[in-house]
Chains A and B, each alone.
Chain A
Amino acid sequence: MPIDWIMGLAGGGLIGTAAAIYLLVNGQIMGASGIVGGLVDGSGRHDWAERAALIAGLVLVPAVAAFAMGGAQTHLTSNWAVIIIAGLLVGVGTRVANGCTSGHGVCGISRLSLRGIVATAFYIGAGGLTVVIFKHLLGVI
């Protein structure tokens, strides 16, 4: 659908604007895994309130917007084993790599960071291969 890429571009623009404000005002990199991960392992204890505020906005504003839009769907698999394994992999992987789609992807690539570009190549490559294997070969997802 042509509307999908327009919404993608507009939503992407909002994500990039959010990251730009976080950098220019607070002097920080908007990486979702680092912001929440720092609260999990204690490395972000000193600025926990700022992290919690960001997460509150990230959770609550889509809640209100989705309600106003008449609901939204994630279409997440109902297979609990897949959900648990995927969640564990995303959690451990993003913290070991020190970044995810927002930190390495948006914030890293935009400053032409080699680490951001390499990380993005690996997670997209691994993600694509996983979809090929688990969807087309095994039919699990």
Chain B
Amino acid sequence: MRAAVSLLVGALFGLGLLISGMTDTTKVQGWLDIFGDWDPTLAFVMGGAIVPMAIAWRVTHGRKPVLAASFPPPPEPRLGRKLVVGSTLFGMGWGLSGLCPGPAMASLSFGGTGGWLFLLAMLIGMGLAPGLRNRLDASPQPV
């Protein structure tokens, strides 16, 4: 049952990414390109996604999920070096390509060889992440 819900969630997620234009790298790079021909679409996508999700977080108060024992714990208050370093590396790759993990998967069927190459590199990068996490954990944390 939980897997069927996951399938539906993935379907809606993918459809939303496609119709919003987020599988088109020119729209994503256009949003990041503040000194060029700026494209505001991504802000509308983010806004449109945050509203139903903000309502969902409110609904969780004092309740339990339908098919799970509990909701996710509150976010950790600590920021930490991993959050800052990781997000900066991610942003650099996002800017270079115009792809982040969701759209990279949603566009696989029409993204050609380049799309598969990006996915493969991304999976390898994900495999390298635990090593970098350990290195960052081993050094003293300034934030």
Known A111-B57, A130-B96; judge A94-B118 contact (CB<8 A). Answer: no
Q: Is the CB of A62 within 8 A of B7?
A: no
Interface: B138 (CB within 8 A): no
| Number of residues from B at the complex interface, CB < 8 A | 115
Which residues of A have CB within 8 Å of B107? 62, 72, 74
Which residues of B have CB within 8 Å of A17? 12, 16, 52
Known A37-B129, A125-B91, A130-B91; judge A83-B72 contact (CB<8 A). Answer: no
Q: Is the CB of B75 within 8 A of A113?
A: yes
Which residues of A have CB within 8 Å of B60? 23-24
**Cβ distance A40 to chain B, nearest Cβ, rounded Å:** 4
Known A33-B126, A55-B105, A91-B121; judge A122-B49 contact (CB<8 A). Answer: no
**Cβ distance B137 to chain A, nearest Cβ, rounded Å:** 10
Q: Is the interface of A mostly helix, strand, loop or mixed?
A: helix
Q: Which of B8, B20, B51, B54 has the most CB of A within 10 A?
A: B20
CA distance A23 to B123 in the complex (A): 25
Which residues of A have CB within 8 Å of B79? 114-115, 118
Known A16-B48, A59-B105, A92-B125; judge A134-B87 contact (CB<8 A). Answer: no
Q: Is the CB of B52 within 8 A of A101?
A: no
Choice from B45, B90, B100, B109 contacting A62 with Cβ under 8 Å: B109
Q: Is the CB of A88 within 8 A of B124?
A: yes
Q: Which of B19, B24, B132, B136 has the most CB of A within 10 A?
A: B19
Q: Please name 5 further chain A to chain B contacts, defined as beta carbons within 8 Å, in addition to the given A14-B19, A23-B56, A85-B93, sorted by A numbering.
A: A8-B21, A12-B45, A17-B12, A77-B114, A126-B92
